[in-house]
Amino acid sequence: MWIEKLAGGVLQVDTPIGPRFVRLHFKQRAYLLWMFRNFPSLPHQVLSPREQRMVDRAVEENGFASMLGMGMPDSPVIGRIEQRITVSADVLPVRKPMAGSNAMARERSEVASA
């Protein structure tokens, strides 16, 4: 199994439109075999900056393809990168203090000190 992955394995990258596969050079396959030695799937966020750059570079150089588009439906998958969509939090407007909040705070401090 390791030999087949080293000889012609691909990297699966989950995208919003479905899984895509990346063909790799020999050195990239060897490095990814080591990276995925304990886990079949890893989120992109847990990779080291070096590993993230290597994956991003492999995608840029080789591009995505569907498994059928690659002409090799039997290519072994070395590992899977989970691309999570980062959802930005909505920025909430700044809340204005209540009109009587200062008076209430003063009353609490007076009661506490008494």
pLDDT tens, position by position, 63-80:
777 665 555 567 899 999
Q: Is residue 48 part of a domain?
A: yes
Q: Is residue 60 part of a domain?
A: yes
Q: How many structural domains is the chain composed of?
A: 1
Q: Is residue 110 part of a domain?
A: no
Q: Which domain holds residue 15?
A: 2-82
- Measured CA angle at 98 (ends 94, 99), to 5 deg: 130
Q: Is residue 69 part of a domain?
A: yes
25 contacts: CB under 8 Å, gap ≥ 6? none
Q: Is residue 101 part of a domain?
A: no
Query: Exposed, middle or buried: residue 49 (CB in 10 Å: 0-12, 13-18, 19+)?
Result: exposed
8-17 pLDDT, tens digit per residue, is 889 999 888 8
Q: Is residue 62 part of a domain?
A: yes
Q: Is residue 11 part of a domain?
A: yes
Identify the band that residue 107 occupies on the pLDDT scale cut at 50, 70 and 90.
low
Q: Is residue 14 part of a domain?
A: yes
15-66 pLDDT, tens digit per residue, is 888 888 998 989 999 999 999 999 999 998 999 999 999 988 988 888 777 6
DSSP structure class, residue 46 = G
